[in-house]
Amino acid sequence: LRRRSNRIGLWLIGATGRVGSAVALGLAALRRGGVSRTGLVSDLPPFRGIGLADPGNIVLGGHEIRSETLLEAVQTAHQKAGIFDAALMRRCAPDLRALQRNVRAGTLLGVGPTIRRLSEDRRIPRDASARAAIERLSSDILAFRRRHQLDRVVVIHTASSEPPFPLKAMHKSWSRLEKALSRRAPGVLPASSIYAAAAIEAESAYINFTPSLGASVPAIEERARQRGLPYMGCDGKTGETLVKSVLAPMFAMRNLNVLSWVGQNILGNRDGEVLNDPKTRASKIKTKDRIVARIVGGSPTTRVSIDYVPSLDDWKVAWDFVHFEGFLGTKMSLQFTWAGCDSILAAPLVIDLARFAALAQQRGSVGAMPHLAFFFKDPMHSDTHDLPSQWAALVDWANKTRSDR
């Protein structure tokens, strides 16, 4: 008998982090039912009837480098950030224990000293080369797919941010990079790109929810196209940048001249601790800072700062000051304050991305998925940064998908 199903797996890199564990609890809660689906974009009317997998049926697995379990991670978030209902956590505890069995040891190859310090888990294998790591990581994903009889697995990178990684000549084509992968020297690829390559070898769609390099390497994009796979990134647009991408078009449409846009972010979780390292912070600032000039044009003075304030834990506060010029040279200003709970904003988007990417893969989509630009601060191969246009592109894609069914 042929199985009539659309069983998808979601493989998270950084599975037991704040975002990863919130996704795990969210999926368990959706499976058990009786919880609100607020925050899930894919649940909105324009996306009904297009063939998205039911989020309650998504099976979770992933790679991690710390020994904290999914259940411990949600309990920590509950204690420190005051999020998640205690009764819901109790109800979902058996599911989180079961999902924990799908979490495998990640790689420390290509991580910098900041991330290496996070990993107190002595059981993490030492991979001899990027090729060895890619083989081990991709076989974990393939084994997960077989064990759970999944039709497809989407890999989403939600691991700690990495410092910028300069590309060299060997990163330009897959044939050149492939030769370099066997070198025993570190520095061929950052960990995020090793994971992207592993996802591709495991025939999975790949999404980069972080500002790390991931699949943004010409050789890796070439490999994904060779293997007929879709991918997208970078860096989930969940808070301050989301608001910017709605407000900046307003200034442009009213022909108001944005002179400066200065944003100060403070956050206190592990992501904030990792971003406290100036090199790592540079990757994040790059994806957060570009958007205003790209939407309003010209060369406004823009600045983004990020400070680590441990007591805030998962609650990120962003304060933005916009200085702009109106008719006859009159200067005015706008200020806003955003106080968001980072993992609560990010988790439903990760579930959305798993559903959209699995459907795109099922429909034979290959290469970057610009219709998913809506979800990212720095969308790959897309010049569309304003939220309303990104939304229109996503809805268009959904309408085409529906009419092709």
Subset of residues 176 to 205 that bind ligand NAD, contact rule: CB under 6 A: 191
In the complex, minimum distance from the CB of residue 120 to ligand NAD, in angstroms, rounded to a whole number = 10
The binding track of 6-45 with respect to ligand NAD, each residue x by CB under 6 A or -, is -------xx-xxxxx-------------------------
Q: Give the nearer residue to ligand NAD in terms of CB position, either 240 or 401.
A: 240
Give me the DSSP letters along 234-294. Answer: S-B--SHHHHHHHHHHHHHHTT-EEEEEEEEEEE-SHHHHHHTSHHHHHHHHHHHHHHHHH
Residue 236 binds to ligand NAD (criterion: CB under 6 A): yes
Residue 49 neighbours by CB under 8 Å, 6+ apart? 402
Do 314 and 18 meet the contact criterion of CB atoms below 8 Å apart? yes
In the complex, minimum distance from the CB of residue 323 to ligand NAD, in angstroms, rounded to a whole number = 26
Backbone angles phi, psi at 206, to 5 degrees: -130, 135
Task: Please name which of 8, 23, 11 lies closest in space to residue 198, comparing C-alpha atoms.
Answer: 11
- Where does this chain touch ligand NAD (CB under 6 A) — which range of 156-164, 200-208, 218-226, 327-335? 156-164
Q: Give the nearer residue to ligand NAD in terms of CB position, either 200 or 258.
A: 200
Residue number closest to ligand NAD, CB atom: 17
CA-CA-CA-CA dihedral for 391, 396, 397, 398, to nearest 10: 90
In the complex, minimum distance from the CB of residue 324 to ligand NAD, in angstroms, rounded to a whole number = 27
In the complex, minimum distance from the CB of residue 208 to ligand NAD, in angstroms, rounded to a whole number = 9
- Where does this chain touch ligand NAD (CB under 6 A) — which range of 127-135, 172-180, 242-250, 267-275? 267-275
- Distance separating alpha carbons of residues 240 and 262, to the nearest angstrom: 11
- Distance separating alpha carbons of residues 209 and 403, to the nearest angstrom: 29
Residue 210 binds to ligand NAD (criterion: CB under 6 A): yes
Task: Please name which of 115, 404, 117, 158 lies closest in space to residue 280, comparing C-alpha atoms.
Answer: 115
Which of residues 74, 296, 346, 353 is near ligand NAD by CB under 6 A?
346
Do 264 and 307 meet the contact criterion of CB atoms below 8 Å apart? yes
Residue 76 binds to ligand NAD (criterion: CB under 6 A): no
Q: Percent helix, strand, coil in the chain (nearest 5)? A: 50, 20, 35
The binding track of 117-136 with respect to ligand NAD, each residue x by CB under 6 A or -, is -x------------------
Cα separations in angstroms, 89 against 22, 29, 98, 114: 11, 9, 14, 31
Residues in contact with ligand NAD, counted by CB under 6 A, come to a total of: 34
Do 205 and 360 meet the contact criterion of CB atoms below 8 Å apart? yes
In the complex, minimum distance from the CB of residue 405 to ligand NAD, in angstroms, rounded to a whole number = 32
Q: What residue ranges bind ligand NAD (CB under 6 A)?
A: 13-14, 16-20, 63-66, 106-107, 111, 115, 118, 158-161, 191, 209-210, 235-236, 238-239, 269-271, 342-343, 345-346
